[in-house]
Amino acid sequence: MSKVRFSSKRLLLTLMLCACSVILLQNYDISQNSSFVFNLLCMLCGLAVCFALFVPSIIIKKRTNLDFLTVAHTVTPKLKIPIAVLYSLYFVWAAEFFLLPYTDMFSKKYYSDVTPCLIALILLSACVYAALKGVNVITRFGIFLFVFALLTNILMFGGSTGTLDFELYGFEISGNLNDFIQNTVYFIIPAFIVTLFACLSGKTKNFRLRQPLFALLVTGVKYGLIMFFIWFSLGDYASKQEYQTFILARAARIGFFGGIESLYLALATMSVFMIISLVLCAVTKSAGRESDIKYVVIFAVIIFAAHMCGSYLNSVKEIFTNNYIFAVFTVITAAVIPSMYIFAGRKSNARKALHSINMS
């Protein structure tokens, strides 16, 4: 079963849906002083950086048809433990980056009677089960989620068209350098899917360059539409509220049909569920214990313990959810370290090692 390959399209579709969590959980991450068009330009710059970060993983996949972790363990076996520790730390951090705001949003906006830690425990339990099933099974679920996301977006955007205001809010370009840096860094955050791809793409087949391009293009369209409706439908009201995409879903109505925030919450839940499930697959793979129940549970417990610290200690939460720290960490794990192995792969001993794995 470990040698069964699945479609690269399916993996990138799943990663695309994971990237949507960034905008679904947006909470004062975009500058309140910048205009819609300015934010759109920042988004284009951020996603362009995301694609640039994809390049090393694409090269490794094209040259070897392997994932980065397999290449790293083969080329530099003596660095296996340091790489495992670094990527394990990154993936635990990535889990907290999304789990903390998700549970906070769920508790504050939807069900205040449930504590964030209980929500995290239930979600992590489901993620452990999914991680034991493997990436192949998780990406199959991604097909269902894509259809559900399409329906939710149609209802959310369609229900907001009646409140669009193009007189009070326009298409001017306003924002300063600090706004540009803040917004662009925020839109680099989706590059976490590059690190997941780099570590989990070894079992995929039929990879094409257009697949990550398409994934980022659709992600950009989704981000742009949400920003458009928040700006022109909610206006200044959104700037005074936490978790603006949730507010957009709550305000959307088609006739007498409301309650779209329930669909939004289900979409956000499934998106975060897939992120953490894939994180558990990646972190156990980096430790060389893929689908090992003991290690999956251990890392899930670590994630839960870190979540408890973040829930009760605001300083810890601010570190885990800091966009700048996470973006830098993502650049290092997604591109900097894999790039080193591209240059290392030019050496004859590295090429022989990779060739032996490909032959096996």
pLDDT tens per residue across span 217-258: 999 999 999 999 999 998 888 878 899 999 999 888 887 676
CA 312 to chain centre: 24
Cα distance between residue 110 and residue 291, in whole Å: 34
> What's the pTM value of the predicted model, to 2 decimals?
0.92
- Beta-strand ranges (E) seen in the chain are 6-7, 204-205
Provide DSSP, 230-258: IIIIITHHHHTSSSHHHHHHHH--BTTB-
User: In this predicted structure, what is the pLDDT of residue 234?
Assistant: 87
Asked if pLDDT for residue 97 goes beyond 70, the answer is yes
Span 204-219, pLDDT tens digits? 999 999 999 999 999 9
One of 1.20.1740.10, 3.30.1330.20, 3.30.310.220, 1.10.3760.10 is the CATH number of 6-355, namely 1.20.1740.10
| Domain spans of the chain, in order of start | 6-355
Q: Identify the band that residue 354 occupies on the pLDDT scale cut at 50, 70 and 90.
A: low
- Please report the pLDDT score of residue 310 as a whole number: 95
Of 35, 344, 332, the C-alpha closest to 183 is 35
